Amino acid sequence: MKEVLKSLTFKNGDAEAKQRPVFCIVMDGIGLGKDNISNAIKNSRTPTLDMLMSKYPCLKLKAHGTAVGLPSDDDMGNSEVGHNAIGAGQVFAQGAKLVSNSIESGLMFNSDSWKEIASVKDTGKTLHFIGLFSDGNVHSHIDHLKAMLAQAKVEGIKNVRVHILIDGRDVGETSALEYINPFEEFLASLNGDGFEAKIASGGGRMNITMDRYEADWSMVERGWKTHVLGEGRQFASAKEAVETYRSELGCIDQDLPPFVIAENGTSVGTIEDGDSVVFYNFRGDRAIEISKAFDDKDFDKFDRVRVPAVTYAGMLEYDGDLHIPSRYLVSPPEIKGTMGEYLANTGVTQYALSETQKFGHVTYFWNGNKSGKFDEETETYEEIKSDVIPFEQRPWMKCAEITDRLIEVANEGKYRFMRVNFPNGDMVGHTGNYLATVVSVEALDLQLARILEVVDKLGGVALITADHGNADEMCEIDKKTGEPKLDKEGNMKSKTSHTLNPVPCIIYDNKFADNYKVIEKDTYGLSNIAATLVNLMGYEAPEIWDESMIEVL
């Protein structure tokens, strides 16, 4: 039996209010950052946004970390989990828990990606694992690594090598041997019957491989030379390497220099043609660059010297916008009971619109990672083709064309609920080009003004929000001072990633706002949007959803 939404009663203009159009406008990458030189939004001319935030209810929504199902509040949000949360009205596990569930259920090992990785069993080549080596559970968990090693043996893979990135940041700063020693015992218990697994290389997480935000590509280059090429100072064991470096340098774990495990002067585990490689971190920020080095055919950040033809996979998709990496082991969560499904079952007509860059986010991700429609009769999805050009060269992207089409469709009066994504703030923000990002934000603001005119003309209501921040913080921020980091010449250190800032949620309603009151709380996240939207349409929200941000009077 299909579940449908139950009607609410509005105190004023009940019948008319329940027929008016409801818009959800997602300003991708538009967060609420500090008012400083790093904030391209604050430093743009945005009269429409300024008016909305000063005259209409504007709530702050959490759009990162646990609020969108990620392991910790140190994890930045992204467009995929953001639209999952908006469209589902609920929070689903996205990071460590998602991986653990996938391993425990066996879904990971039944996936096509794992089967491709495991194909080395037929060729006699080597399976390599690279990742943060601890149980800190912020970027990775050693238990995930152990489970994959055990499965590799079960499946008949003969040769496995592990390249360890020593933590000392999410765990004790000199705790490396607390992980290395038991792990060596674990490997010893697995080895035999034709199976051989060894630690092949390593180094401290802040010295090699795990750079983020393209702050220091030399870290990734050192990691490449260590893991792939087997170049570096040689030791008989990881334990010997750690103890030697500590004695010689007095450094803590995260700063340990790279090392290579060797036998008879030769690395035990270089990465060669035909091998498989898994980067087993589940958190994306420090996994993207090494994934690019393995996966990007046009990579040019450093000379890789030798680029082996490998089957590469990340634990998750680390950047859904850029699809990095192209292969990953754990798929997005199974999400049921979405707003799109409830509206379709109820007979509410829906329209989804964006350009190519974010079209999947207002369709596939919005609908809980579901391809296709819930109801062909009541739903229409429309994609405007994105330009194939660097975003900083045309920072307005397709925002005007998107608005043209939204206005045209709204005036037809066919759809009760319309959702639209403007990619500008995110896609241009990712380039790190500050001036272009300012232009993108100002272009978006112009389109908001056009849309609001139509909302008023039709007696509608618009909920204006974002899926995460980006353009609100265009450079690295000093954690101690909260101010932008500057180089020796006084220039901002560019940042191209998403932010940890909240996002706005503005309710624009000039006709029926007296039917409800906005409830102010500091605990709302993106998952509270769905209940709010269906309330604005005159329906009760399902109990499985997170609470509405309005109370119908």
Q: Which of 61, 89, 76, 80 is nearest to 358 (CA)?
A: 80
Residue 162 phi, psi dihedral angles, 5° rounding? -120, 130
Non-local CB neighbours of 53 within 8 Å, separated by 6+ positions:
504, 506
Calpha distance 40→435 (Å, rounded): 8
Locate 198 and state its tokens.
């060894």
Angle, helices 339-346 vs 79-88, to 10°: value is: 40
| Residue 167, helix vs strand vs coil | coil
Q: How many Å from the N-terminal Cα to the C-terminal Cα in the chain?
A: 31
255-276 burial, b at 16+ Cβ within 10 Å, e below that, comes to: bbbbbbbbeeeebbbbbeeebb
- Cβ burial, residue 371 (10 Å; 0-12/13-18/19+): exposed
Question: Could you give the residue numbers annotated as active site?
Answer: 79
The answer to whether the CB of 452 falls within 8 A of the CB of 21 is: no
Show the beta-strand stretches assigned E in 441-534: 461-465, 503-509, 516-518
Calpha distance 211→221 (Å, rounded): 10
Cα-atom radius of gyration of the chain, to the nearest Å?
25
Q: Are strands 516-518 and 550-552 parallel, antiparallel or unpaired?
A: antiparallel
- Cβ burial, residue 36 (10 Å; 0-12/13-18/19+): middle
The answer to whether the CB of 166 falls within 8 A of the CB of 176 is: yes
Q: Which of 291, 271, 297 is nearest to 210 (CA)?
A: 291
**Stretch (H or E) spanning 311:** strand 311-314
User: How many CA within 13 A on the CB side of residue 525?
Assistant: 26
Q: What is the DSSP string of 97-123?
A: HHHHHHHHHTHHHHSHHHHHHGGGGGT
The answer to whether the CB of 533 falls within 8 A of the CB of 89 is: no
Calpha distance 198→183 (Å, rounded): 10
CB atoms within 10 A of CB 416: 21
Locate 10 and state its tokens.
């509005």
